[in-house]
Structure 1
């Protein structure tokens, strides 16, 4: 059904196998910083018009790959499709973040929640299959979802938040309601990602965008536990091929050892974490060793070309000597930003970044033999 993969560097790095360069892709690589994306979004009429149309979603997913030699594509969608399918009424006003028509703030609203019929998300799975075909084996396709906790934040707040007052009030005042919501979210995320895998996703990523806003004990109880519940239900392989699972918690550096125990292949790191130290803590050896992904500060992309190159080199060098044993797994790094790319980023600076990653990571392998 799908063309053979021509560039499997990203998937090999996920599985901690030696590669000839460090693979690179960017969170939000298909997005508003690209003029061609803005033109397609104008054609679609709205963000949801773009995300729910198979042809448009395919087109914008491939746009960055036409410009840059990236090592992976990521499905163009949104982390909030699941609560939308639960009937909460997702919308996006131009220049504003997501909003829900129906927030979940009391016992009655929580009682109504259930794992949505995956047919309501058919537009996502159709897009996955369409993108995979259009890629024609060029690079792997990553599917994704928001984490149970991150979804809950939006569901309770009704939109983004500066202080998470409403969701944290529920967490502390009615932990029983929060646990019920998170359990439903976790089972929904697992079903959603498994269906993306069946549709053609070659790796899946869980974005725990707001895990870092929690107190220490609350992170373990309300975020990490439910990410673990998702991972326990995910397909390990499809059609005889292993499907790597990636987890990214923004602000999660405090809990690296605990996250290192997760049943996944890759941990994404934000820019506050030193890659070399993370490698020593969770990415080196042993049964729970993880590939690491990250973690350039996205604002580096506003600097001049020489500074961008220098900062890329710093990130690659901070990870350290690349693994080069073709027979055994070992420490591997996937280059990415420490969070999503800014909409104001000059597109030509992304070209400089990708080129610098490929050039310097190849040089490191030559030097280390």
Structure 2
């Protein structure tokens, strides 16, 4: 982990307000960039792109070559964990990720002991990025949080309501707890290795927290994320961690208080006034522009971006979208947003 000096985004995550919010964009290395599409076409598939350091470094750095962003994020995917555990994972063009769904009977196929060896190329990518990045840029690592990863492992694909995982957790609580234990343990190992390889900060992507009641949210989101953070900081003291519990809504304060994250990412449905009222006055936030405002651009985007900057001016704030950038986003709109955040 690099020093905080001269890294405004890292300093902000650690609680130091800046004269203007630093900015990065979730999925900033992605299909909206023609150079990304060209690089991906040279790979044998999406997972091959994630596991080939030459290509993964290339795409990680592409957005920084275009925009004055304050961070690079490791190019990878949250589903490298189930792939490393031995579950069948593939990415079909136009369909997204497809997995062979787990059952009570097939949980035994998972092999936690092979995860770090399988993910060695990811760590090599981080080592190379650390070596290449300008000293003012923060390097972000990440993993999917256990609940979100489990929804794919149990459902076999993305889902609007995560019903397969919710039903599995209710019908088979012991087996579900076993799966979550595995995911917590390998996530700690994975994130520790990312810090050792050069990450300055890591983000926990809890992308599917939005369809859980308060009891399930506490069990499946808060507690596993808390365990990861406690376990990670036993190995990497004071590790800087951003939590992104998309859809946490009224449970965001409970998430912040219980998990120990340094900063919380807010989805674009979170009102600024609610966040400011719910969270401690000095607690850092990340977000939260609607990605579709970035697609349309123009005055409405600029006005909303200014509202977000002004709304969070009294606390540490990293400007970001409230979810990932979408493929149809015009490059000129991204350039304008970055310029607005950095120069006003």
TM bucket by the smaller chain?
A: over 0.9
CA distance in 1, matches of 2:10, 2:267: 21
User: Which residue is equivalent to 1:326?
Assistant: none
Q: What's the secondary structure of 2:320's corresponding residue?
A: strand
**Structure 1: segments with no counterpart, 5+ residues:** 323-330, 361-369
Residue of structure 1 equivalent to 2:251: 255
Question: 1:94, 1:277 → 2: CA distance?
Answer: 39
Q: 1:111 to 1:158 in 2, by over 3 A?
A: same
- Conserved in 2, the CA contact under 8 Å of 1:308 and 1:352? no
**Per-residue CA shift, 1:328-357, capped at 9, x if unaligned?**
xxx211111000000110111001111111
What SS is found at the alignment partner of 1:55? helix
SS in 2 for 1:143: strand
Deviation at 1:6, TM superposition (A): 7.6
| 1:1-369 alignment runs, 5 A limit | 7-100=6-99, 102-106=100-104, 108-117=105-114, 118-235=116-233, 243-261=239-257, 262-285=259-282, 290-319=283-312, 321-322=313-314, 331-360=315-344
Question: Take 2:174 and 2:66, find their aligned partners in 1: how far apart are those partners?
Answer: 48
Q: CA deviation at 1:111?
A: 3.5
Q: Does the residue aligned with 2:165 lie in a helix, a strand or coil? A: helix
The 8 Å contact of residues 2 and 199 in structure 2, kept in 1 or not, is answered as no
Which segment drifts farther, 139-148 or 248-257? 248-257
- C-alpha distance in 2, partners of 1:243/1:351? 31
Equivalent residue of 2:160, what SS?
coil
Secondary structure of the equivalent of 2:267? coil
More displaced 10-residue stretch of structure 1: 195-204 or 252-261: 252-261
TM-score when normalising by structure 1: 0.88
Could you tell me how far apart the structure 2 residues matched to 1:10 and 1:4 are? 12
SS of the residue 2:112 aligns to? coil
Q: Which runs of 5+ in 2 are unaligned?
A: none
> After TM superposition, which residue ranges in structure 1, 4 or more long, deviate above 4 angstroms?
2-7
Aligned-pair CA distance for 1:212: 1.2
Give, in whole Å, the separation in 1 of the partners of 2:93 and 2:5.
38
- More divergent stretch after superposition (77-86 vs 267-276): 267-276
Contact 2:30 2:327 in 1 (8 A): yes
Counterpart-to-counterpart distance in 2, 1:162 and 1:3:
38
Q: What's the CA shift for 1:358?
A: 1.5
Task: Give the C-alpha shift of residue 177 in structure 1.
Answer: 1.1
CA gap of 1:5–1:260, structure 2 versus 1, over 3 A, is closer
User: Do the aligned residues in 1 keep the contact of 2:245 with 2:266 (CA within 8 Å)?
Assistant: yes
CA contact (8 A) 1:85 1:116 kept: no
Query: Does the 8 Å contact 2:71/2:139 carry over to 1?
Result: yes
Tell whether the 8 Å contact from 2:192 to 2:235 is kept in structure 1 after alignment: no
**1:280-310 deviation digits (Å, cap 9, x = unpaired):** 322414xxxx310010000001224222211
For 1:245 and 1:237, locate their aligned partners in 2 and report how far apart those are by CA, in whole Å: 14
User: Do the aligned residues in 2 keep the contact of 1:33 with 1:345 (CA within 8 Å)?
Assistant: yes
**For the residues of structure 2 that align with 1:24 and 1:243, how far apart are their CA atoms?**
20
Deviates more, 1:28-37 or 1:226-235: 226-235
**Counterpart contact for 2:7–2:135, Cα < 8 Å:** no
Secondary structure of the 1:10 match is helix
How many residue pairs were aligned? Answer: 342
Distance 2:147 2:248 in 1: 13
- For residues 94 and 138 of structure 1, what CA distance do their matches in structure 2 show? 36
